[in-house]
Structure 1
Amino acid sequence: MHTADTADTADRTVTGLTFRDATGADVDTLVALVESAYRGESSRAGWTTEADLLEGQRTDREAVREIVGAPGSRVLAAERDGTVVACCQLEHRGAHAYFGMFAVDPALQGAGLGRAVLAEAERTVRESWGATELHMTVISAREDLIAWYERRGYRRTGRTSPFPYGDERFGIPLRDDLVFELLVKELA
């Protein structure tokens, strides 16, 4: 859990959201949230859908449980009125941190929740781990999403990594040109 003064002991409320570290008890809720934001018809209610790029799952209980319990990793859960409405994974990687598994309830997208979660993630890794950069990978075909991150100070690096074709744990690609691009933001 997070407070304005310390980054590890109490809830932190920003823009109507309360941030806390997810626990094993949140795994099913987190899986449902991530799946609803990226896959299937429910994801089309928001703008972050990957339904035109990928079918199948985005994540599963085993993967989320592993992330929640991994050393040097934490999952921020953002709650509104006691319901988890957004989340992200943070992983400490030395001088930088990695940002992933970012999801906002599709029915609530476009209202500033994503911006608030991203800002809280940046604050958390700076204060908790002394990270000087936040890294993330985004499917390069997601130009609208990359543009959103660029407006928040992230820069494209041109460094790519292959999409894990053939590994259905990450979805079933509908295109043969998917790659991840590394985006980086220096944290002040």
Structure 2
Amino acid sequence: MNADTRAAALTFRDATPADVDGLVALVESAYRGDASRAGWTTEADILDGQRTDPEGVLAVIEAADSRLLTVERDGRLVACCHLEHRGQHAYFGMFAVSPALQGAGLGKLIIAEAERQARETWGAREMHMTVITVREELIAWYERRGYRRTGRTSAFPYGDERFGVPLRDDLCFELLVKDLA
């Protein structure tokens, strides 16, 4: 299957409250627990506990200047990503692809569509995201998509189990930026 065939088979739409349970299950499956080990985006070796919860996903869906894109193939939820308008840039987060489909090129298509939508919908000149600094393989993947490391870091929310239970004490986020102009 070539990239055009994969893209044609995908449907992008904004999430609704009816999608919350499916989105939570998707995000959890991509990042937490043994099921996440089927893909390469797992955080199971650095974080335990939850990645998100229904209240957090619903808040993203209902927030102003925010879109939670769902990606479906043949009517089945296979990926999602969050876009938030923040002035001259858009923030990209909550990116999850079903572990069984990771490594097949879907991520590249989805991030390209998210960038296009941020540019066309909000006139965003840059896309920003934060990634846990110890996730070197993931950072390298984003760098291959044109994102650059800034060296600007922010603290991991230790003690707030809504974001997981850290299995190590050296976690922090680094800001990655891509020019969309």
TM range (shorter): over 0.9
Contact in 2 for aligned 1:133/1:187 (Cα 8 Å): yes
Greater shift after overlay, 14-23 or 177-186? Answer: 14-23
Determine which of 38, 43, 53 is the counterpart of 1:45. 38
Could you say which residue in structure 2 is the equivalent of 1:9? Answer: none
Provide runs of 4+ in structure 1 moved above 6 Å. Answer: none
Tell me, yes or no, if structure 1 residue 139 matches structure 2 residue 140: no
Render the CA deviation track for 1:141-185: whole Å, top value 9, x for unaligned: 000000000000000000000000000000000000000000000
Paired residues, what number? 176
In structure 2, runs of 5+ residues without a counterpart are: 1-5
CA RMSD of superposed structures (Å): 0.9
Deviation at 1:14, TM superposition (A): 2.6
Paired position in structure 1 for 2:74: 81
- 8 Å CA contact 1:45, 1:106 repeated in 2: yes
2:100 pairs with 1:104:
no
Aligned twin of 1:184: 177
Query: What displacement does 1:15 show?
Result: 4.1
Structure 2 residue matching 1:71: 3-state secondary structure: coil
For the pair 1:32 / 2:25, whether they are aligned, the reply is yes
Give the structure with the higher percent helix: 2
- Seq. identity, %: 76
Distance in 1 between residues matched to 2:25 and 2:38, nearest whole Å? 15
1:16 Cα deviation from its structure 2 partner: 1.7
Aligned 1:1-188 pairs, distance under 5 A: 14-188=7-181
How far off its partner does 1:51 sit?
0.1
Amino acid corresponding to residue 120 of structure 1 in structure 2: E
Q: Could you tell me which runs of 5 or more consecutive residues in structure 1 were left unpaired when the two chains were aligned.
A: 1-12
Whole-angstrom CA distance in 2 between matches of 1:70 and 1:36: 24
C-alpha contact 1:15 1:116 (8 A) present in aligned 2: no
One-letter amino acid of the structure 1 residue matched with residue 73 of structure 2 = R
CA contact (8 A) 1:86 1:103 kept: yes
- For the Cα contact (< 8 Å) 1:75–1:90, is it kept in 2? yes
Tell me which residue corresponds to 1:3.
none
Distance 2:36 2:63 in 1: 28
**Aligned partners of 2:106 and 2:74: how far apart in 1?**
14
Residue type at the aligned position of 1:150: E
In the alignment, the residues of structure 2 paired with residue 83 and residue 158 of structure 1 have an alpha-carbon distance, to the nearest angstrom, of 38
